[in-house]
Amino acid sequence: MKQITLLFIIFFQISISCAASITAQADRNPIQVNESFNLIFEASGSVDDDPDFSPLKNDFSIINQSQSSSISIINGSYNKTTRWTLLLMPKQIGVFTIPSIAFGNDSSPQLRMTVNAEQTSSNGQNSDLFMEVETSTKTTWVQGQIILTVRLLSATNISQFGISKLETSKFDIVSEQLGEDKRYQTTRNNTPYLVFERSFAIFPQQTGRLRIEPFLGEVEVASGSTSYFDRFRRQSTIKRARSQAIEIQISGIPDQFNGKTWLPASELKLVEEWSTDPSQFKTGEPITRTLSLLSNGLTSSQLPELSIPPVTGLKQYPDQPLLKDNKQDDGIIGIRQEKIAVIPTHAGEFILPAIEIPWWNTSIGKMEIARIKQRSIQVAEGTATMTPAPEITSAPQIDITAAPSMTQQQASSSFWFWLSLLLASGWLVTAMLWWLSNRVKKPAKKSTRQSSARSLKQAEQTLHKACKDNNAQACKQALLEWGKLMYGSGLTNLTDIATITGEPLASIIKDLNTSLYSASPGNWSAQDMMPIIHKLQSDKQHKKNVSENELEPMYR
């Protein structure tokens, strides 16, 4: 009985010593509504179960979370500490209670957090981080182009940034991003800012009030200190800025417009070109007429098919239209181009009717007409005269006794002879090029491999010089070139290289980005980069050698 009691006392003491003691602490309190903070839970001892952090989502967004553990044995005393670190972003202003989080039967204490409004400058802009949204107009017509420009401005060191997607309040639109994001520096109220700019062309497809929802900008602000648990990892803070919503009034098609196709644009032109001088027409000889419809403020898919009026005595053969969109900073220029082969059947004077396309000028709110004027052309007798076909008054009759004139036969024979010769020549040239390319490609494999190795060596030397000079911009360019040669041409930025290589090069790239794109760059050192580069190249070459040795028996 005494032994059972003793065992019970020992078990009870062990249970007390193993029971987890949980604390909760924020790294900053109070905070601003659009900046993140770290919430840290620490358990001394073993918890009963994994924590359930879902109650936090009522008032906060969980951006990231991590877990780490440490064990210590001092004078025979065993102690285990587990830490959960959550990166949170408040959803609104106010005083909130962080609820007790359950760790199985164990739980954390409650914690009060104060979320204040953004600190703004005298002009209403955030002193460190804010967003701007501009539109080319506040009113327009349905399907008319609206240029939307979004800017994220930061006065602090940042390593990464992001801008949310374009969203509207259940409004039917078509949108196109205009080019790549722009990065530049500017000054507001004597404060330097790094600007990230993105532009869109928006085409509303319905009438009413178009509401463009606020954009959310997010930046990662790097601090100078390193993490206590990982000396290679820099501490950072997530900050956010939100723009104002914008409303634009969209009107319907005005009564003054009477065209067949609604074309709202700031400019529209109809242009005509000829492959040869139109005054030198000859019977039986084709000439190409090119009609181009160019619009500032419409996409090529919005432009109508060009109607070509028929002309007696002229055979017209339209080709497939060419559609193209040129995206520029001030909008989209849509182009529709149609080519028509025109062949006169007999000599004389012909009238090409005018071509007119009504459109709506959004700059002045008025209908205008793009036109090609009526044209008179003279056709002379050619070397190959084509007689007109007989008029058909009833069912077509075939007269087998009527043979074509000698001139027609010669023209037809001459045409098909040269056409056949041209096709045969094209086929022969293609066959010769294919034969030559196959002869060159096979022995060039080894040469290509040697050339690639030389290019990688040159890129390595260029990178080494940039690191030696501690030139951040030169290091970026050289590192991008080296990365493309090492891992493929699909790499477009330093972040891609960091993702492929991982640590420790990722941390150096992160510091390099901070130095390149911060408003006030700090001291950056490239002295640790080249040893890592050499190690990556050595590891890749070793894997390649092992792979080739393993595959070699297959070719014996």
Please tell me whether residues 189 and 268 are part of one structural domain.
no
Task: Write out the DSSP string of 264-291.
Answer: EESEEEEEEEESS-GGGEETT--EEEEE
Q: Which residues pair with 151 in a beta bridge?
A: 132, 197
pLDDT tops 80 at residue 187? no
pLDDT of res. 453: 64
In a domain, 2, yes or no: no
Q: Is the pLDDT of residue 76 over 60?
A: yes
Structural domains in the chain (count): 4
Task: Identify the residue with better confidence: 317 or 436.
Answer: 317
The rounded mean pLDDT for the chain is: 78
CB 532 within 8 A of CB 508: yes
Question: Are residues 214 and 316 located together in one domain of the fold?
Answer: no
| pTM over cut 0.85 | no
pLDDT tens-place string over residues 216-237: 998 888 765 544 444 455 567 8
- Are 323 and 356 a contacting pair, CB within 8 Å? no
| Residue pair 105/20 in contact by the 8 Å Cβ criterion | no
Please tell me which residue, 452 or 99, carries the higher pLDDT value.
Answer: 99
Q: Do 136 and 107 fall within a single domain?
A: no
Say which range, 244-258, 415-429, 530-544, has the weakest mean pLDDT: 415-429
Taking each helix axis from N to C end, the angle separating 406-441 and 444-469, rounded to the nearest 10 degrees, works out to 70
pLDDT at site 5: 45
Indicate the pLDDT class of residue 281, thresholds 50, 70 and 90.
Answer: confident
Q: Are strands 281-282 and 375-380 parallel, antiparallel or unpaired?
A: parallel
Q: Which residue has the higher pLDDT, 277 or 205?
A: 205
Q: Residue 300 falls within a domain, yes or no?
A: yes
CB 288 within 8 A of CB 342: yes
**Where among 195, 221, 251 does a domain terminate?**
251
Within-domain flag for 517: yes
Quick one: pLDDT at residue 19?
Answer: 56
Q: Are strands 355-361 and 264-265 parallel, antiparallel or unpaired?
A: parallel
Distance CA 26, CA 38 (A): 6
pLDDT digits (tens, 9 = 90+) for 363-390: 999 999 999 999 888 888 876 544 443 3
Domain boundary among 227, 251, 275: 251
Residues 234 and 154 in one domain: yes
For the segment 171-186, the average pLDDT, to the nearest whole number, is: 88
Query: Which of 48-52, 74-78, 406-410 has the largest mean confidence?
Result: 48-52
What is the distance of C-alpha 264 from the center of its chain?
27
Domain boundary among 334, 351, 380: 380
CA gap 50, 41 in Å, rounded: 12
Q: Output the pLDDT for position 404.
A: 38
The whole-angstrom separation of Cα 53 and Cα 60 is 11
Q: What's the CA gap between 6 and 257, in Å, rounded?
A: 100
Task: Looking at the structure, tell me whether residues 133 and 237 fall in a common domain.
Answer: yes
Percent of the chain scoring above 70 in pLDDT:
74
Residue 349 lies in a domain: yes
pLDDT at 229: 44
Q: Indicate the pLDDT class of residue 118, thresholds 50, 70 and 90.
A: low
DSSP assignment of 376-441 equals EEEEE--SS--PPPPP-SSS----TT-PPPHHHHHHHHHHHHHHHHHHHHHHHHHHHHHHHHHHHH
What confidence score (pLDDT) does residue 138 get? 94
Question: Residue 518: pLDDT above 70?
Answer: no
CA dihedral 167, 156, 225, 21 (to 10 degrees): -40
- The residues with which 504 forms a beta bridge, in sequence order, are none
Task: From residue 351, give the alpha-carbon distance in Å to each of 296, 313, 356, 390.
Answer: 31, 10, 16, 22
Asked if residue 149 and residue 227 are part of one domain, the reply reads: yes
Quick one: 72 and 144 in the same domain?
no
One domain, residues 363 and 466? no
488 part of a folded domain: yes
Residue 331 falls inside a structural domain: yes
DSSP tag of 306 = P
Q: Taking residues 77-83, what's their average pLDDT?
A: 84
Q: Give the pLDDT confidence of 439-493 residue by residue, as tens digits.
A: 544 444 444 555 566 687 888 888 888 888 888 888 888 888 888 888 876 777 7
Residues 112 and 133 both lie in one domain: no
CA dist., res. 96 & res. 55, Å (int) = 12
Instruction: Return the pLDDT at 516.
Output: 67
Specify if 481 maps to a domain. yes
**Which residue in the block uniquely carries the two structure tokens 């007689």?**
387
Give the pLDDT of residue 551: 40
Task: Determine the average pLDDT of the residues in 60-82.
Answer: 83
Domain check: are 110 and 141 in the same one?
no
Q: Give residue 56's domain range.
A: 14-116
Do residue 233 and residue 270 come from a single domain?
no
Tell whether 404 is covered by a domain: no
Task: Check whether residue 163 and residue 247 sit in a common domain.
Answer: yes
Q: Which of 176, 173, 161 is nearest to 216 (CA)?
A: 161
Residue 295 belongs to a domain with what CATH number?
A: 2.60.40
Residue 290 pLDDT exceeds 60 = yes
